[in-house]
Structure 1
Amino acid sequence: MANSAQARKRARQADKQRAHNASLRSTLRTAIKRVRQAIQAGDKTAAQGVFQKSVAVLDRIADKKIVHKNKAARTKSRLSAQIKALAA
């Protein structure tokens, strides 16, 4: 337990920040799931539209360092490759 006023404040701030980061991570996961559902449906144009929106979410969250920038890039690359494979 925090014994000083400063430590109590930092504990409050850390808890608030953790909740905010969890919310952003949830937003990220939801965006990725939407793209995967569009790919499963087989509609390439819909998947591309959803993908463009999710790329913005991925980049925004990677800029805030909620996830590593390389993880965001890897995820975008894999989703893009799956969308391109729909035409084949």
Structure 2
Amino acid sequence: MAHTLCANKRIRQDRKKALANKAYKSKMRTAVKKFLSAVSSGDKTAAAEAFKSAEVTIRKVTTKGVIHKNQASRRVSRLAVRLNAMG
């Protein structure tokens, strides 16, 4: 248990940030899942649109500091490989 005012404030701030980060990660995972479902359906145009959306979401999560920039680049690269493998 925290004993000082600043420690209690830090705990409150951490909880708030954790909720925000959780929401950002969830949004990112949802965008990736939409892309993967478009790829599995075989629709190239829908997959390309979903890829653009997923990439923007991943980059935004990176700028918020939720994931590292190298992890974001790796995720986008793997999605691009899947998109290019379609045809």
Shorter-chain TM-score range: over 0.9
Query: 1:68 aligned to 2:68?
Result: yes
**CA deviation vs aligned residue, 1:17-40 (integer Å, no higher than 9, x gap):** 111111111111111111111101
SS at match of 1:16: helix
- Give the distance between the partners of 1:10 and 1:81, measured in 2 at CA: 41
Residue ranges of structure 1 left out of the alignment (5+ in a row):
none
Structure 1 residue 86, shift from structure 2 partner: 1.0
SS at match of 1:55: helix
- Give the distance between the partners of 1:25 and 1:79, measured in 2 at CA: 16
Please name the residue that 2:29 is paired with.
29
Please name the residue that 2:48 is paired with.
48
Structure 1 residue 85, shift from structure 2 partner: 1.1
**CA-atom RMSD in angstroms:** 0.9
Structure 1 residue 81, shift from structure 2 partner: 1.3
SS at match of 2:73: helix
Structure 1 residue 84, shift from structure 2 partner: 1.2
Structure 1 residue 44, shift from structure 2 partner: 0.6
Q: Percent identity?
A: 37
Q: How many correspondences in the alignment? A: 87
Please name the residue that 1:12 is paired with.
12
Instruction: Calculate the TM-score normalised by the size of structure 2.
Output: 0.93
Instruction: Calculate the TM-score normalised by the size of structure 1.
Output: 0.92
Deviating above 4 A after TM superposition, structure 1's stretches of 4 or more consecutive aligned residues are: none
